[in-house]
Amino acid sequence: MSNKLLVICGPTATGKTSLGIALARTLNGEIISADSRQVYKRMDIGTGKEWAKDVKIWGYDLVSPKSEYSVARFLIFAHKTISDIQKRGKLPILVGGTGLYIKAVIDGIATVAVPRNDGLRDKLKEKSAGELYESLSNLDSVKAGSLNSSDKKNPRRLIRAIEIVQWKLSHGRKARLDSKVPAPDSILFIGLTATKDFLDRRISERVKDRIKKGIKAEIKTLLKSGVNWDDQSMMSLGYRQWRDYFEGIMDESEVIREWEREEKKYARRQIVWWKNDKRIKWFDISSLEFPKNVEKLAEKW
């Protein structure tokens, strides 16, 4: 198999993992999940984990829901796993919607090696998102201005941005980790997409399916086991929307509407993330022929 790497990306609810499993069967492959939520144990329904008895999927259940997880940790894990799969003569298939994880593996990320600053984090942890954004703006207005609306409201990401800027200021240079996969002979980049209406319907159906499968019971079990709403895992999409429900502030129908809205917004952000990457071969999932067409392309490659 040499050191080929197959990548499947695209917005949420496009069936990336199902396609990955099908291709793994055809091409003698194993999957690496590039999903920042699926790393958490006991968080299965809300993160949409899929299993297959005959296909190995790496990247599920790596850490406790009480733990923090970062792109730097994923990078170490992904490098080791990809190398191991290749050494065994199989094809690694990197599958997921977390664009930052895929970018880190394929292209490297300059700031991934900047270490945690626990003292700084301790000082900043009580500040609101607005206060953190103001601090970041004062340190680096260009970086602050480049954040999307979601990141501007996310205290954890704002703290990390401040941490990186302060580290650069104190060291006077850019941090870089040699984070590329060692020169793959060939990367095949497959992207899954659909029209807005088609994707919105898929997202609504998937939210309903996760409610039917027992997302409320899953969250209740997590909370009983000592996981709390301020843990990184519970701030993720599909979990944080339920906080007001469990605290008696919002009813279930409101939660569902909010969850669907946020999933659809997330899909738009994912589309924008990959939009200008010319390496990606895009396939419309609304076409009945798309799985066969992907398979033909992959086999030829």
- pLDDT, residue 179, reads 52
CA angle 7, 9, 13 (to 5 degrees): 140
Coil, helix or strand at residue 63: strand
- pLDDT, residue 171, reads 73
Dig out the tokens for 38 from the structure: 């699926």
Coil, helix or strand at residue 34: coil
The per-residue DSSP string of 157-208 comes to HHHHHHHHHHHHHHHTS------S-S--S-EEEEEEE--HHHHHHHHHHHHH
- pLDDT, residue 173, reads 54
Residue 40's nearest CA partner among 228, 232, 216, 210 is 232
pLDDT truncated to tens, each residue of the chain (301 aa)?
Answer: 578 999 999 999 999 999 999 999 999 999 999 999 999 999 999 999 999 999 999 999 999 999 999 888 999 999 999 999 999 999 999 999 999 999 999 988 777 768 888 899 999 989 999 999 999 999 998 889 988 887 888 898 899 899 988 888 887 655 454 455 445 558 999 999 999 999 999 999 999 999 999 999 999 999 999 999 999 999 999 999 999 999 999 999 999 999 999 999 999 999 999 999 999 999 999 999 999 999 999 999 9
Pairwise CA distance, residues 19 & 291, whole Å: 7
Q: Which amino acid is at 243?
A: R
Residue environment code for 2-26, b if the CB has 16+ CB neighbours within 10 A, otherwise e:
ebbbbbbbbbbbbbbbebbbbbbee
β-bridge mates for residue 30, sequence order: 92
Residue environment code for 166-183, b if the CB has 16+ CB neighbours within 10 A, otherwise e:
bbbeeeeeeeebebebee
- pLDDT, residue 169, reads 83
Instruction: Please give the C-alpha separations between residue 132 and each of 119, 151, 157, 237, 249, in angstroms, as whole numbers.
Output: 16, 11, 10, 22, 27
Pairwise CA distance, residues 103 & 107, whole Å: 5
- pLDDT, residue 211, reads 97
